[in-house]
Amino acid sequence: MSSSRPRPRRGAGVAGRDELVSRSLQSAEHCMRAQDFGTAYAHYLLVLSLAPELKDDVKETFQYTLFRWAEELDALSRTQDLLGCYEQALELFPDDEVICNSMGEHLFRMGFRDEAAGYFHKAVKLNPDFSDAKENFYRVANWLVERWHFIMLNDTKRNTIYHAAIQKAVSLGSKSVLDIGAGTGILSMFAKRAGAHAVYACELSKTMYELGCDVVAANGMEAGIKLLHMKSLDVEIPKHIPERVSLVVTETVDAGLFGEGIVESLIHAWEHLLLQPKTKGENGSCEKYGKVIPASAVIFGMAVECAEIRRHHRVGTKDIAGICLPTNVKFQGPACSVESEDAVEPYTTEKMGRVPGGYLALTECFEMMTVDFNNLQELKSLATRKPDKIEVPVIKEGVLDAVVAWFVLQLDNEHCLCTSPSEESCWEQAVYPVQDLTDYWVQPGDHVMMEVSCQDYYLRIQGISVFSSEHEMDVGKSFTKDKDLLSLGNEAELCSALANLQTSQPDAAEQTCVLESTEIALLNNIPYHEAFKKAMSRVLSSLAPEKLCQAMDTHCPDSEMSGGSGQSNPEPGASEPFYVLDVSEGFSVLPLIAGTLGQVKPYSSVDKDQHRITLDLISEANHFPKETLEFWLRHVEDESVLQRPKSDKLWSIIILDVIEPSGLIQQEIMEKAAISRCLLQSGGKIFPQYVLMFGLLVESQTLVEENAVQGTARTLGLNIAPFINQFRVPIRVFLDLSSLPCTPLSKPVELLRLDLMTPYLNTSHREVKVHICKSGQVTAIPFWYHMHLDDEIRLDTSSEGSHWKQAAVVLDEPIPVETGEELVLHVQHHKSNVSITVKH
């Protein structure tokens, strides 16, 4: 029976499709003009599903629509819809590096760093020259695969000792093994190679788990090692492993021993995953009993004087370019603060053997604590037992800046690893900065006292104080010694000190301000603040000399900050003040310094409440008229900090943070500079006005080993390097050139100029010839900056006492050079990213 519906003529379907595609394209363009990106996106999806052949024609417009619609969805917190749009887009354009990179950026902002890394990595593979994706991948790779993985895998001594201890345990009968925190799987492979029958490995990081799977497979051991993507605390028998194991191997230890969770994981392992331990006098095969590698540890400590630690953890000045810091304001680093929400570890870490300026041991090395990892009861009591009180005699005169801790890891009765500062190893030491003493000076005869515990499964050293036999009192709580008052130097400083003492009445408002160590180092950087004061004064003088305070060079608070200086809140009929905006990252006193320069209305962009309270207290102590200092973010309605101060006013000075403390150029700084130029009054300036980037060629085995695993010899024949080296990052940050083990092969050369005031002077790329002055192998190009506040006043980010660190480009392969040769560097500047490559 024939159908009653008429059959369409051949070709009618194609014509109908073409009509629909044409109408949808018109509708999409109409919606784009109306900025209805959601509807435009839907129309483009229809077009591309009906007419895939139009992909190349509409690709750019489709991308733009997708990105604008994604921004709207992000603002509305419609996360699922946003991710759905990207998944649809990647089905249509699976090999589009721009969409992959954008997807990664959204995932990264949402906190899905593992997933973001996958998209950034794919974008770089699709287009190795796509600089945005490369920068994103490098940023996330540093977080996903931390640099210590490379350093540790290159430590042949550490690998050999672990290998020997595991081999011994397996040969004695420990044939079933669980590797906790497996990483690349190197310890698991040691166990398998030693003859273990069953090896299980758990790793929480998705990136490291996948990397471990690839490494194990490449070494032909995938059949003998079962990898689990989970925390060991979640491993269950028989769900994940069939039965209890006879050996647990782990290296979940940090510089403070306990910080990677070794105590919790071993308590759980003894209770749920390990066979019972062998008791004294028991005979029988090791296969019937449980044991842990490492078997035990001894923690050691030493009190030290170290100027580098001091300047990053203790504000050592009371006067910053004419601004007095009152005694009712106390600055602390996150590691020293009990109240800090940001504090995770109660210590910082340093490689003390390479700390700039070195250190002085004030005490002998002393034993702090021992722990037996094969004793369940001891592990369980660690977190609950009372702190041990330790008293150590001082052997050398000096300033007490920190207690440094390290440990000896006893793998078994024969093999051990030591993380001491005197040992050449991959380890850093845990540093506990000393704060809150009235007097930090110690001498032989004194005793340093402290309490040591394992609270919250962290090694804690608290209550550090000094007992002086000379005064028979705890100078941690005593009054300042007379010699300190006498050493202040001049009458003005003595007056200032006495004025500060008067402010420390019990009823005075006290404020503890928690700062990052780089922010404390910045407060201690007096040349930085003096340079800004001088440069700001010059700009304001050029704008209206009569408005400025005459007493520029005096440091007396009353003469410099009295109401007579004509600061803001002018009398009726007085001229408008100058407007100064500081958009530095973090805590900055530059707005207060600007406020000392006459009729100035300074604005600070600090965003933390405790920072605002602190600035208000400093302002009050320096007798600023009330409401002089404004907090700009309270006046800003959207996220754009760079706006006009008032509808009819422009800024006289805008201070931008151009260089990160890590040694890199701040993200999007050139875009911020472009906006800032539009907001300046005639004759106004951006600080810094321009930046020169300098670099030199060096040979440094240290940088090479910290950047990539060097072949198979370091990992005892195991093939790990090609897999983990995918995550190496060519730029090494937070370097200190003064203490970096390296040999300079050239003199410093200017690599780049970034001009924030006159952008037409900037070039996106340039070639720089570098003259070789010493034969060797170029392995890296360290770089730093001269920040020019004007043509005469500059700050060097590599100078002694700088709060900035330096960075370096580490080459993939060393380049042999001879004295007298020239090497050409290709320097590229894209947005705020700089790349340096050697042109052959």
Helix (H) or strand (E) segment spanning residue 724: helix 721-724
Cα(807)–Cα(820) distance, integer angstroms: 26
User: How far out from the chain centre does Cα 167 lie?
Assistant: 38
| The pLDDT of residue 647 | 62
> Could you tell me if residue 354 is left (phi over 0), alpha (psi between -120 and 50 degrees) or otherwise beta?
alpha
| The pLDDT of residue 569 | 42
| The pLDDT of residue 639 | 56
pLDDT digits (tens, 9 = 90+) for 163-177: 999 999 999 999 999
DSSP conformational letter for 550: S
By CB neighbour count within 10 A (0-12 exposed, 13-18 middle, 19+ buried), where does 201 fall? buried
The model's confidence at residue 8, banded by pLDDT at 50, 70 and 90, is very low
Mapped to the 3 state alphabet, what secondary structure does 219-282 carry? CCCCCCEEEECCCHHHCCCCCCCCCCECEEEECCCCCCCCCCCHHHHHHHHHHHCECCECCCCC
DSSP lists the bridge partners of residue 583 as 656
The model's confidence at residue 626, banded by pLDDT at 50, 70 and 90, is confident
Cα(286)–Cα(767) distance, integer angstroms: 65
Q: What is the pLDDT averaged over residues 658-685?
A: 90
| The pLDDT of residue 457 | 87
Residues contacting 818, CB < 8 A, separation 6+: 772, 775
Cα(176)–Cα(226) distance, integer angstroms: 12
| The pLDDT of residue 11 | 53
For β-strands 360-361 and 296-305, DSSP reports them as antiparallel
Range of lowest pLDDT (289-303, 311-325, 644-658, 673-687): 644-658
Contact 185, 159 (CB under 8 A): no
Q: Omega of the bond prior to 294 within 30 degrees of 0, cis?
A: yes
The model's confidence at residue 572, banded by pLDDT at 50, 70 and 90, is very low
Among 383, 363, 379, 362, which Cα is nearest to 371's?
379
Cα(619)–Cα(43) distance, integer angstroms: 58
The model's confidence at residue 334, banded by pLDDT at 50, 70 and 90, is confident
DSSP conformational letter for 719: -
| The pLDDT of residue 282 | 66
Q: What is the pLDDT averaged over residues 621-630?
A: 84
For β-strands 511-514 and 329-332, DSSP reports them as parallel
Instruction: For the beta carbon of residue 31, count every other beta carbon within 10 angstroms.
Output: 19
| The pLDDT of residue 730 | 87
| The pLDDT of residue 4 | 42
Cα(572)–Cα(216) distance, integer angstroms: 79
Contact 642, 672 (CB under 8 A): yes
Q: What is the pLDDT averaged over residues 694-705?
A: 95
The two three-digit tokens of residue 74, written as one number: 């992000």
**Residue 574 predicted with pLDDT over 60:** no
**Residue 182 predicted with pLDDT over 80:** yes
For β-strands 651-656 and 680-687, DSSP reports them as parallel
The model's confidence at residue 839, banded by pLDDT at 50, 70 and 90, is confident
pLDDT winner (highest mean) among 29-33, 42-46, 654-658: 654-658
Residue 130's identity, in one-letter code, is: F
pLDDT digits (tens, 9 = 90+) for 365-384: 999 999 999 999 999 999 88
The model's confidence at residue 460, banded by pLDDT at 50, 70 and 90, is very high
Contact 365, 301 (CB under 8 A): yes
Cα(678)–Cα(759) distance, integer angstroms: 13
Range of lowest pLDDT (367-376, 445-454, 668-677, 705-714): 668-677
**Residue 746 predicted with pLDDT over 80:** yes
Among 768, 580, 593, which Cα is nearest to 681's?
580
Q: What is the pLDDT averaged over residues 87-114?
A: 88
| The pLDDT of residue 659 | 94
pLDDT digits (tens, 9 = 90+) for 532-547: 999 999 999 999 755 5
Q: Omega of the bond prior to 602 within 30 degrees of 0, cis?
A: no
Q: What is the pLDDT averaged over residues 445-459?
A: 92
Burial 793-820 (b: 16+ CB within 10 A, else e): bbbebbeeebbbbbbbbbbeeeeebeee
Report the mean per-residue pLDDT for the chain: 86
Instruction: For the beta carbon of residue 338, count every other beta carbon within 10 angstroms.
Output: 9
For β-strands 447-453 and 460-468, DSSP reports them as antiparallel
pLDDT digits (tens, 9 = 90+) for 230-268: 999 999 999 999 999 999 999 999 999 999 999 999 999
Contact 434, 334 (CB under 8 A): no
The pTM is what? 0.83
| The pLDDT of residue 833 | 77
pLDDT winner (highest mean) among 294-303, 468-477, 537-546, 721-730: 294-303
Among 773, 775, 779, which Cα is nearest to 815's?
779
Instruction: For the beta carbon of residue 646, count every other beta carbon within 10 angstroms.
Output: 11
The model's confidence at residue 137, banded by pLDDT at 50, 70 and 90, is confident
For β-strands 247-250 and 176-180, DSSP reports them as parallel
Residue 147 vs residue 410, higher pLDDT: 410
DSSP one-letter string for 1-56: ---SSPPPPTTHHHHHHHHHHHHHHHHHHHHHHTT-HHHHHHHHHHHHHH-GGGHH
Cα(289)–Cα(277) distance, integer angstroms: 5
Q: What is the pLDDT averaged over residues 186-192?
A: 97
By CB neighbour count within 10 A (0-12 exposed, 13-18 middle, 19+ buried), where does 147 fall? middle
Residue 556 vs residue 139, higher pLDDT: 139
Length of the chain: 840
Reported for 750-753, long-range contacts at CB under 8 A and 24+ positions apart, including other chains, are 750/692, 750/693, 750/694, 751/693, 751/694, 751/695, 751/783, 751/825, 751/827, 751/836, 752/692, 752/693, 752/827, 752/829, 752/834, 753/690, 753/691, 753/692, 753/693
3-state SS assignment for residue 312: helix
The two three-digit tokens of residue 744, written as one number: 């300079």
Residue 324 vs residue 478, higher pLDDT: 324
Cα(582)–Cα(816) distance, integer angstroms: 46
Cα(339)–Cα(323) distance, integer angstroms: 27
E-strand spans in 306-456? Answer: 319-320, 323-324, 329-332, 348-350, 360-361, 366-372, 388-393, 398-399, 402-410, 416-418, 429-433, 441-442, 447-453
Among 313, 322, 329, 327, which Cα is nearest to 493's?
322
Residues contacting 344, CB < 8 A, separation 6+: none
User: How far out from the chain centre does Cα 281 lie?
Assistant: 51
| Percent of the chain scoring above 90 in pLDDT | 57
Contact 184, 720 (CB under 8 A): yes
**Residue 491 predicted with pLDDT over 80:** no
Cα(624)–Cα(234) distance, integer angstroms: 58
pLDDT digits (tens, 9 = 90+) for 69-81: 988 888 888 888 8
The two three-digit tokens of residue 824, written as one number: 């050409």
3-state SS assignment for residue 464: strand
Cα(219)–Cα(190) distance, integer angstroms: 11
Instruction: For the beta carbon of residue 92, count every other beta carbon within 10 angstroms.
Output: 17
Instruction: For the beta carbon of residue 349, count every other beta carbon within 10 angstroms.
Output: 18
> Could you tell me if residue 532 is left (phi over 0), alpha (psi between -120 and 50 degrees) or otherwise beta?
alpha
